[in-house]
Amino acid sequence: EPEVTQTPSHQVTQMGQEVILRCVPISNHLYFYWYRQILGQKVEFLVSFYNNEISEKSEIFDDQFSVERPDGSNFTLKIRSTKLEDSAMYFCASGLRFRGRDYGYTFGSGTRLTVV
């Protein structure tokens, strides 16, 4: 079964450093998403991406965050200057809707980001 792949599985970074979280969505999916889950809390939406642009973003997704689909297969989330409160599990997801039918909304296994 096709999977959404995220790398790395765990990243430790110093406060103020830039991090890039990488995702390889399912190949024929057209919609891409980032979510985060702070330890012990619910999963929160960050951003969705379609046709090479952001289609929706939450209040969490401020100027410190950016997303990119650099090469047609990868989908990245960049945090420019990490803060302690950015420590969380970050999930990538991809989905496909075609002619009003849904063909998946699949999550990756996540990247645990620890900011120290």
Catalog residues that contact other proteins under the rule CB under 8 A.
Answer: 30-31, 33, 35, 41-45, 48, 50, 55-56, 58, 91, 95, 97, 101-102, 105-110, 112
Contact 95, 102 (CB under 8 A): yes
Quote the least distance from Cβ 26 to other proteins, whole Å. Answer: 13
Tokens in use for 101? 């039918």
Quote the least distance from Cβ 16 to other proteins, whole Å. Answer: 27
CA distance 111 to 89: 5
Contact 112, 38 (CB under 8 A): no
Quote the least distance from Cβ 17 to other proteins, whole Å. Answer: 24
Query: Is 59 or 85 the residue whose CB approaches other proteins more closely?
Result: 59
For β-strands 88-98 and 31-37, DSSP reports them as: antiparallel
Query: Is 39 or 84 the residue whose CB approaches other proteins more closely?
Result: 39
Query: Is 25 or 95 the residue whose CB approaches other proteins more closely?
Result: 95
Task: Tell which residue, 27, 33, 111, 104, has the closest CA to residue 72.
Answer: 27
Query: Is 73 or 109 the residue whose CB approaches other proteins more closely?
Result: 109
